[in-house]
Structures are given as C-alpha cells and as structure tokens.
Amino acid sequence: MLLRFQAGDWLAADAYHVTREADTMVTKALHDGASYLILGPRTAGKTTLQKRMQDELQHAGRACAYIDFNMIGTCTVAEWFYSAAYLVLGQVREQLQKDLDLDSFWEAAEAASPAERWNQVLAYIAQRTRSQGLVLLLDEVDALVRLKEVAAAFFTSLSRWTAAGEKPGVAVCLAAGVGTHHLTVQLPEGMDTEYLTDFTLDECRVFQDGFWGRAEREEEVLKHVYEWTQGHPMLTQALGLRIQERFRDGTVVRSGDEEARVRQIVQEELLADRRGRRGNYALQWAEGCFSGSHPAAQPGELLALFNLYRRVWRGDVVPENRSDRLQMDLWMTGMVRWDNGVLQVRNRIFREAFDADWQAIVGKALDCPPAPDGA
C-alpha cells in the first residue's frame, strides 16, 4: 500500500502511522481485561490509538465498541444513556447469541433510572460475550465536562465493571483531552493512567519513506523536521506533507540544503504572519486556550496559566508535577511537555509561534504586567 502524510483527523489506513511503545502496552492490557485512562492534548493521537486498538482487538476475537461522546451531544439524561446503549449494542450485535430489542427493553424498564437501564444493557452484552470479553473504547470524555449529571451517573456505573475484584469480562478505556479535575466527579476505580507522549526520533523513521524522491538524503530531512517538531504527531505529519507538496515533479532537497529548506517551509507555512496558526489545528487550539476555549476559562485561572507558560518559555526551572492542576492544564493546551523532570516548551515551532511578541499581546488582553526587560 502506498502510504501518505495526513495532518488532521484520526489516521486513515493508508496514512503513515507510528506505533508507540505505550500503544502496544495499553492494547495488550485491554486484551487481558485491564482498564485504562488515556490522557493527552488535542492532536496527540488519542482517537487514532483507540481506532487502531478497536481493529486489533476485534481481529483478536474480542467484542469491542467505540463511542465518541461528541456524537451523542447535549440532550436529556435519559436520551444520553439510551444513545450510549444504542451505539454499543450496534457494534457488538454479531457477537450476541440473542439480539436485544433496545426500544422494547428500554420501555419495559422505565421504572429504573437511565443509568440503571444502561447498566442492564451492558450486563446483557457482557454475559453473552463472556467467552471473548467485551472492551469499551470511550473517546472525547471532555464532552462530559458540560454534562455533570450524566458524568456522575455514568462514571459510577462504570465502576461496577472496573472495580478490583469484579470479573465481568468488561475492559474500559477512556480517552480525555482535559485534566481529570475538570470532570468534577470520581473516575471509575481500578483504572491505570497513560499519558500520551510525542514520538521519539526512532519512532519517526517510518516517515522517512515519505521523502523518497523529494530529497537526496531523506534521513537528513527527517532529522531537521524532528528538530522543529520533536515528534509532535500532527505537526510532524503536516511538515512532511508540506515538503512533499513543495518538492515534486523532479525538484528535490539537495544534499546540504536540508536545514535551510525545512526552516523555510516552517517559516512560510506555519509561522509567517500568524497564518499558519489559523491553518494548523494544533497551533490554533493552543492559541484559543487563552481566549476562552480552555476549560479553565475563568480570567484568574487563564492568567495563572499564561504566567506559567511565560516562565517555562523564558527558561525558569519548573519541576514536573503531574498532580498540579495548573501544570496539567498547560500540558493539555499542547504547548509544553514534561522532559527530564521539568516542564519545557513542547518544541521549536511552539517556542517561535508563542514567543515574546505573542506573550505581549495575550498579556495585555489578560491585564498581565509585562515581562521584565531581558526575560
């Protein structure tokens, strides 16, 4: 299959795909019946990972259902739980020995709460898929931040399946792009947590074939791409795609020109006159977090978030603390990473996109005192 760069959405079958060590570990754990919470900023690859896990688990014989909570949207509590049950049931019908008429069941159990009816549907499915085991892949848990009543009932119901000592044959994988403190409810018991990290240079070597015929030294092009992206999933794909588009029809990156050519494309496509920020979702999302789209949207919290970024950008040592709400919120913007025990700007693209000039603009909007001279 001829593979391609894809900069956006969950990756299609014909797109370059990197398998991180953690990806393999979580998939195996779910196959063995464990439950996981996957945390990562937007464009970190959470949805792609869950879609790939669904394919692998189904191929291995597990009954598996994927739900994007954004697909359910805003509705009544009863409608929400019915929709969740409908989506799961529709994906595992082939594994059931006897199908369930959801509408008839839902009406017959009207005396029970929506969460209890959801649990009864899940118990029905779990009982009939016990031999192969049921895996629920639940994506975009962020959507529940706005649905507090649903979130409380839903996570309580999941605890029945994930709690230690229970062996119902159900494994659950939640994926969230916000810190768990924003969910304002207790997460299900018995879940391990995996923080998605960017790709290593070795993991990025899968992209090298994409530069074949576009460069005299493909490995050198990849090295300089990595110097800018540090393995950021979307930005690495986006930069690879721009290089493919720029060098075609016989034009190639000459030996010795790799650094200059990659820098030119980054400057023109991602950084020049803020156009790249509006055209690249990873940068657009990060910038939007400081204008109200971040869950920590209260002015005081945004100011604290901004000041923490400014400290990290100027090189202050901020020791890693994943339990710190402010660090977690800043990590979830996608602008920083934890590395060698400290918080750092995520990569060179973010450092130049969100530089002192950007900080001056945002700081003024947030009524933040300007940074000291020389900072």
Beta bridge partners of 174: 37, 138
pLDDT at 167: 52
Neighbour order of strands in the sheet with 134-139: 63-68, 134-139, 170-176, 35-39, 191-195
Query: What are 192's two structure tokens?
Result: 């391990």
Query: What are 88's two structure tokens?
Result: 């799961």
Q: Going by C-beta distance under 8 Å and a sequence separation of 6 or more, which residues neighbour residue 166?
A: 160, 190
H-helix or E-strand spanning residue 126: helix 114-128
Cβ neighbours, 10 Å, residue 251: 9
Inter-residue contact 153 to 113 (CB < 8 Å)? yes
Which has the closest alpha carbon to 153: 206, 77, 94?
77
Q: Going by C-beta distance under 8 Å and a sequence separation of 6 or more, which residues neighbour residue 239?
A: 225, 228, 229, 262, 265, 266, 269, 270
Inter-residue contact 33 to 191 (CB < 8 Å)? no
pLDDT surpasses 50 at 78: yes
Query: What are 243's two structure tokens?
Result: 């290089």
CA atoms within 13 A on the CB side of 163: 9
Q: Going by C-beta distance under 8 Å and a sequence separation of 6 or more, which residues neighbour residue 1?
A: 13, 14
Cβ neighbours, 10 Å, residue 314: 14
Task: Over range 224-234, report the average pLDDT.
Answer: 97
Rounded CA-CA distance 100/333 in Å is 42
Task: Over range 17-46, report the average pLDDT.
Answer: 91
pLDDT at 178: 84
pLDDT at 197: 94
pLDDT band at 240 (very low <50, low <70, confident <90, very high): very high
Beta strand 134-139 with 170-176 is parallel
pLDDT band at 298 (very low <50, low <70, confident <90, very high): low
H-helix or E-strand spanning residue 172: strand 170-176
What would the pLDDT profile of 333-373 be if each residue is shown by its tens digit? 999 999 999 999 999 999 999 999 999 999 998 888 777 65
Inter-residue contact 312 to 329 (CB < 8 Å)? no
pLDDT at 276: 47
Average pLDDT taken over every residue of the chain: 88
> Locate tokens 């900080």: which residue?
359
pLDDT surpasses 60 at 375: no
Inter-residue contact 18 to 291 (CB < 8 Å)? no
pLDDT at 343: 98
What would the pLDDT profile of 310-338 be if each residue is shown by its tens digit? 999 999 999 999 999 999 999 999 999 99
Query: What are 76's two structure tokens?
Result: 């009544």
Per DSSP, the three-state class of 109 is coil
Per DSSP, the three-state class of 246 is helix
pLDDT at 95: 79
pLDDT band at 148 (very low <50, low <70, confident <90, very high): confident
Q: How many residues does the chain have?
A: 375
Cα distance from N-terminal residue to C-terminal residue, the chain = 50
Work out the angle at residue 193's Cα, subtended by the Cα atoms of residues 38 and 336, and round it to the nearest 5 degrees. 65
Of 229-243, 245-259, 310-324, minimum mean pLDDT range:
245-259
pLDDT surpasses 80 at 293: no
pLDDT at 189: 73
H-helix or E-strand spanning residue 334: none
pLDDT at 242: 93
pLDDT at 327: 94
What percent of the chain is predicted at pLDDT more than 90?
59
Rounded CA-CA distance 230/305 in Å is 23
What does 209-257 look like in DSSP terms, one character per residue?
Answer: GGGBTTBS-HHHHHHHHHHHHTT-HHHHHHHHHHHHHHS-TT--BPTT-
pLDDT band at 163 (very low <50, low <70, confident <90, very high): low
pLDDT at 372: 65
The one-character DSSP state at 355 is S
Inter-residue contact 164 to 189 (CB < 8 Å)? yes
What percent of the chain is predicted at pLDDT more than 70?
91
H-helix or E-strand spanning residue 271: none
Of 53-57, 104-108, 161-165, 369-373, minimum mean pLDDT range:
161-165
pLDDT surpasses 90 at 82: yes
